[in-house]
Structure 1
Amino acid sequence: MATIHLTLAPLLILAAVFLSTEITAQPAAPAPGPAAPTNITAILEKGGQFATFIHLLNTTRVGNQINIQVNSSSEGMTVFAPTDNAFQNLKPGTLNKLSYDDQVKLILYHVSPKFYTLDDLLSVSNPVRTQASGRDGAVYGLNFTSQGNQVNVSTGFVETRVSNALRKERPLAVYVVDMVLLPEEMFGENKVSPAAPGPKSNSPDVSDDQEKAGAPSDKSGCGEMKAGLGLALGLVFLCLKLVV
């Protein structure tokens, strides 16, 4: 028995060495790679019902601007995304009447250059600056009010509720809104389009009202002269008859 134990001992030692070598030789698990850059279009596509907003982000190139800035800014960003129904509820032709620059301003108005949680929006100082600010010298701001835990956003022209969050992790927050945020600076009552010039008057010294009510024409003057001559001739004939 002692001989058997002595014979097995080297084999057991070799097995232990072999197992320890196998364990050591196993490759370590790969370290997690860097997180994928934040992409606003991918977030909206995952949420669904944002086809029109995605289209405008692409045609105005604001989407690329958001992706670049949000991945390089320490402040983060906040996007308020109108649903497709929100765009359908606009008056017909609202978007088509806007120039390309105005469409850019409209989409930038839905983006704030700072990351806000819903709790932040409950107590934020108004107005909140948007990316549209300063493009034409105007301050395009949003005003937020709270009703309990509900947050409302107002442009001065429209007001709606800030709905659920498509994303709420830094550096980008994306919130759903049920109306397109139309800035008062572009759509308010004070925004009056230039009136077309009226027709020119025939005479520069006479207004339209004067032309309508104006002085007697030459034809009316001639009529009065003819009436006067007829009356005078009638009196002459009458006198002649009396004399005869």
Structure 2
Amino acid sequence: MASASLITLFSPLLLLVLLLAPPAQAQGPAAPAPGPAGPFNLTGLLDKAGQYTTLMRLLNSTGVGNQIVNQLNNSDQGMTLFAPTDNAFNNLKPGTLNSLSAQKQVELVLSHVLPKFYKLSDFPLVSNPVRTQATGQDGGAYGLNFTSLGNQQVNVSTDQVETQVNNALTQVMPLAVYQVDEVLLSSELLGTKSQSPSTSPTTKTSNDGSKSDSGAKEPTAADGTNAGGRINSGLGIVAGLVLLCMGILS
């Protein structure tokens, strides 16, 4: 009888506990951890921005686009790309691109790429010239120079052109892309490097201010002898005859 009374007493309490207890939830599989980021879509970035059709074509035909993406995924230095607009390419002298060999077109694109990530505020602090992906082992070719204009305005230049670094398409590590309104051509690319002047004969200035060539030869007579020598010989003979006559008369 006592057991029955206890069951009767605690039954409402057990029912209340069961009602208030949260429902048991099934343990599902844990959510997967986020995977590594996919390859950087440089073409997609330029395509979305518009006005970079020619640059996109060159990035594809030269293979530089894939090279940039591979480096972005395997380097902690990042990269910087100066992106000439379609108008920049259209403003080139007609036939400029077609006159470049396949290798020169590769160098053209690589000369717009820096092998390091630069924010716009970094350019006034760099040491000119800054190496590009086209710079050779000697470090002299295809370098870019940067000039601060104040108010975070910066110009980039080669030995042929100078233009302002404009709108940043992206400025987030690992890639910075900046619009430029001129193609960054250089004499190295165009094959117009100035040649050292050829050696010329040394000139002398006479008392009347006229210049004469120190390397000039004396005039030669028709028979091949030196005309100046013949004149001097004739004067010597005349002088000898004069002295002889003076001796006879004395």
The corresponding residue for 1:166 is 169
CA gap 1:127/1:165 in 2 versus in 1, 3 angstroms: same
Instruction: Give the Å deviation of 1:183.
Output: 1.7
CA gap 1:63/1:136 in 2 versus in 1, 3 angstroms: farther
8 Å contact kept, 2:107–2:189 = no
Choose from 190, 193, 197 the match for 1:190: 193
Residue type of the alignment partner of 2:186: P
Choose from 120, 130, 133 the match for 2:132: 130
Distance 1:136 1:187 in 2: 19
RMSD of Structure 2 on Structure 1 (CA):
2.6
8 Å contact kept, 1:138–1:185 = no
Distance 1:152 1:175 in 2: 12
Distance 1:168 1:186 in 2: 28
Distance 2:101 2:18 in 1: 82
Residue type of the alignment partner of 2:127: S
The corresponding residue for 1:115 is 117
Report matched runs for 1:196-207 at 5 Å: none
8 Å contact kept, 1:115–1:173 = yes
Choose from 16, 21, 27 the match for 1:12: 16
3-state SS of 1:162 partner: strand
Choose from 34, 57, 60 the match for 1:58: 60
Distance 1:155 1:5 in 2: 95
CA gap 1:39/1:136 in 2 versus in 1, 3 angstroms: farther
Distance 1:152 1:30 in 2: 47
Instruction: Give the Å deviation of 1:157.
Output: 0.3
CA gap 1:7/1:150 in 2 versus in 1, 3 angstroms: same
Residue type of the alignment partner of 1:173: A
Q: Tell me which moved more, 38-47 or 63-72.
A: 38-47
Residue type of the alignment partner of 1:97: S
* 1:28-61 Cα shifts (integer Å, max 9, x gaps): 5554332222222121112111111000000000
3-state SS of 2:83 partner: strand
| Gapped regions of structure 2 (runs ≥ 5) | 1-6, 196-250
Distance 1:85 1:79 in 2: 17
Distance 2:12 2:65 in 1: 72
The corresponding residue for 1:141 is 143
Instruction: Give the Å deviation of 1:191.
Output: 5.9
Aligned residues: 189
Choose from 49, 72, 81 the match for 1:47: 49
Q: TM-score, normalised by structure 2?
A: 0.68
The corresponding residue for 1:88 is 90
Report matched runs for 1:200-215 at 5 Å: none
Q: TM-score, normalised by structure 1?
A: 0.70
The corresponding residue for 1:216 is none
| Gapped regions of structure 1 (runs ≥ 5) | 193-244
8 Å contact kept, 1:167–1:174 = yes
Determine what percentage of the aligned residue pairs are the same residue: 59
Distance 1:127 1:83 in 2: 23
3-state SS of 1:70 partner: helix
CA gap 1:5/1:38 in 2 versus in 1, 3 angstroms: farther
8 Å contact kept, 1:157–1:188 = no
Higher RCO, 1 vs 2 (CA within 8 Å, ≥6 residues apart):
1
Distance 2:194 2:14 in 1: 96
Does 2:178 match 1:175? yes
